Amino acid sequence: MGYIGETIDSIKSIQIRQLLTQAISLGMIVTSALIIWKALMCVTGSESPVVVVLSGSMEPGFKRGDILFLHMSKDPIRAGEIVVFNVDGRDIPIVHRVIKVHERDNTGEVDVLTKGDNNYGDDRLLYAEGQQWLHRHHIMGRAVGFLPYVGWVTIIMTEKPIIKYILIGALGLLVITSKD
């Protein structure tokens, strides 16, 4: 009971200047996180430098909840690379391995076929209607490194959004009631 009384007291005693200062420091934290994210996008050359593994199609190497670091370079796509691609019309990126490459002589364009390590067949079923091959513009990046389990935070927040709201609410409460 004493803690709630204290909290109510501290909310009542907020002055405008203090509130503004805290709002600005919160804004600085959010902005610096955004700066780091955008800088990562520049450094790795990929639109999403970090992705979370959502399905079990690359087990046992990548389990659901792992995160992958991506890098995109102008190097040609070769068999064996683990690539992240978007199928036309779907917005969830897929992380699978390249198993076939046919590179054109004159234009440098390339036909690519992918397959998840743990899947029985190749990804033709996942591609758009009538599409047999992936091309360079579908590929968003190559996986170069990985960290286990860290992605569960994102998965939980996406699948149970109530946890996201609880977290943000608690953070907001902390910011308001902190004495500094």
Alpha-carbon Rg for the chain in angstroms? 23
SS3 state at 65: coil
Residue 111 beta carbon to another protein: minimum distance, rounded to whole angstroms:
7
Is 154 among the residues that bind another protein (CB under 8 A)? no
Helices 161-177 and 152-159 pack at an angle, to 10 degrees, of 100
Binder among 100, 135, 160, 164 for another protein (CB under 8 A): 100
Residue 162 beta carbon to another protein: minimum distance, rounded to whole angstroms:
22
Binder among 45, 86, 87, 117 for another protein (CB under 8 A): 117
Give the Cα separation of 112 and 84 in Å (integer). Answer: 12
102 is a catalytic site residue: no
Residue 170's contacts (CB-CB under 8 Å, 6 or more residues apart) are none
Is 78 among the residues that bind another protein (CB under 8 A)? yes
Query: Exactly one of 96, 102, 117, 122 is catalytic; which is it?
Result: 96
Is the peptide bond preceding residue 60 cis, with omega within 30 degrees of 0?
A: yes
Which residues carry out catalysis?
A: 57, 96, 123
Contacting positions for another protein (CB under 8 A): 60-62, 76, 78-82, 97, 99-105, 111, 115, 117, 122, 143-148, 174
